[in-house]
């Protein structure tokens, strides 16, 4: 059989039934309104994703373990789960699901394609919101136990293409995603914006790696209240954003307002290696932070590193069991609580045991 992308129970020969392209190895048609409907299944293989692909309300996209999906640069490919839709991407330790750039090896850069956005019906502190990085999808509601699917053993590489100037998509974005969603063992590498960002919601996450992000490793906003455990952040010393880059950046709603629910995530068992850990000659100056050989050909602007932890007013962030080093300064703002948090000057990068076997650096 020559096709790889099939609809469960589908017997029609229409090559674009339900908006899915079955022929060859393509996902999407290059447009920014491409819709994945009903229940679709991607069998293990290598595919090119073109344009913005929306998993619509009531629809499910299942991706088999070991699948590689390459985002097309020309069409700013992105996969967007809308509220009521589900992504079932269940990789394994030996067969992770990989989302990466379609550019040739050696030519891959941060922002080559869009990224993955998951939206749900949990609460945030602005009601119904428009997701950052996409002009169509709204998120938010009243169901904190909402289920947007399964994301397990994924690698997401070279994402973050700006859809407008200074408005990049993150490597992995959560918008009002509920606690019924499973998120574990995910590595985001070379994102052109944040590696992970949560806008509201209650989804719990475990075993997350932020590797050489352009902006922040972990960013929580708009009333996010989940618990994230076993987090690893590793910086590239010559990549930092114009807005300053941090290991953690948390705000309530961007307007210094005490809107509820308050942004109050809990981060447990955290290891952070800042830029000075990676390069002992690091200096926090524009001359040094020049992008190295990873400067993308888009409108992203380089900047400087800020504090390792940045907390805006009206947040109640808890960090428990953390070792943080290699940043120009430690904390900006006031966290809700810090227990067993150790700041070190510089140390050798040693990867935690739980990264072995599935993280590829």
pLDDT tens-digit map of 92-133: 999 999 999 999 999 999 999 999 999 999 999 999 999 987
252 with 259: CB under 8 angstroms? yes
Q: Decide: 147 and 180 in contact? Cβ < 8 Å.
A: yes
Q: 267-276: per-residue pLDDT in tens?
A: 999 999 999 9
Q: pTM for this one?
A: 0.93
Calpha distance 318→298 (Å, rounded): 36
The tokens for 141 are 């509601």
Q: What is the pLDDT of residues 211-269, one digit of tens each?
A: 999 999 999 999 999 999 999 999 999 999 999 999 999 999 877 789 999 999 999 99
Closest by alpha carbon to 122, among 69, 51, 175? 175
Average pLDDT over residues 184-207: 97
State the Cα–Cα distance between residues 89 and 81, nearest whole angstrom: 12
The answer for residues whose C-beta is within 8 angstroms of residue 29's C-beta and 6 or more apart is 16, 21, 50, 51
What is the β-pairing status of strands 167-168 and 162-164? antiparallel
**Per-residue pLDDT, 7:** 33
DSSP codes joined into one string, 89-103: EE--SSS-EEEEE-S
**Domain residue spans in the chain?**
5-355
Q: What angle do CA 186, 227, 79 make, to 5 degrees?
A: 40
How far, in Å, CA of 59 to CA of 36, rounded? Answer: 7
Q: Looking at residue 32, what is its pLDDT?
A: 86
Run of H or E including 275: helix 275-278
d(CA 296, CA 308): 24
The three-point CA angle 53-54-57 to 5° equals 160
Q: Lowest-pLDDT range, 32-36, 53-57, 280-284?
A: 32-36
User: Is residue 69 classed exposed, middle or buried when 0-12, 13-18 and 19+ CB atoms within 10 A define those classes?
Assistant: buried
Pairing of strands 149-157, 115-119: unpaired
């Amino acid at each position: 059989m020559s096709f790889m992308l099939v609809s469960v129970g589908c017997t029609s020969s229409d090559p674009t039934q339900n908006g899915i392209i079955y022929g060859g190895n393509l996902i999407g048609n290059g447009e920014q309104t491409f819709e994945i409907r009903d229940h679709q299944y991607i069998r293990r293989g290598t595919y090119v994703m073109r344009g913005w692909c929306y998993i619509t309300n009531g629809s499910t996209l299942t991706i088999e373990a070991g699948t590689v999906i390459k985002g097309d640069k020309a069409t700013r490919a992105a996969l967007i789960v809308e509220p009521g839709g589900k992504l079932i991407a269940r990789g394994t330790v030996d067969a992770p699901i990989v989302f990466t750039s379609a550019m040739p090896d050696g030519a891959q850069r941060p922002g080559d394609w869009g990224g993955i956005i998951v939206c749900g019906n949990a609460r945030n502190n602005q009601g119904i919101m428009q997701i950052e990085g996409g002009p169509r999808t709204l998120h938010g509601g009243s169901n904190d136990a909402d289920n947007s699917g399964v994301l397990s053993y994924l690698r997401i590489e070279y994402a973050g293409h700006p859809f407008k100037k200074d408005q990049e998509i993150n490597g992995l974005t959560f918008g009002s995603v509920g606690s019924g969603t499973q998120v574990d063992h995910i590595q985001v590498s070379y994102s052109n914006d944040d590696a992970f960002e949560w806008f509201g919601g209650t989804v719990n996450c475990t075993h997350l790696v932020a590797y050489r992000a352009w902006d922040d490793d972990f960013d929580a906003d708009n009333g996010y209240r989940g618990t994230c455990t076993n987090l690893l952040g590793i910086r590239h010393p010559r990549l930092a954003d114009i807005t300053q880059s941090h290991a953690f950046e948390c705000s309530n709603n961007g307007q210094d307002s005490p809107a509820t629910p308050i942004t109050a995530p809990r981060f447990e068992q955290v290891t952070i290696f800042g830029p000075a850990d990676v390069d002992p000659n690091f200096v926090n100056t524009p001359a040094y932070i020049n992008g190295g050989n990873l400067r993308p050909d888009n409108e992203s602007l380089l900047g400087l590193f800020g504090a390792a932890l940045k907390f805006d007013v009206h947040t109640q962030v808890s960090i428990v069991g953390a070792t943080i080093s290699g940043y120009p300064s430690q904390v900006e703002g006031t966290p809700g609580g810090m227990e067993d948090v150790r700041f070190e000057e510089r140390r050798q990068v040693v990867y935690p045991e739980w990264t072995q076997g599935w993280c590829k650096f």
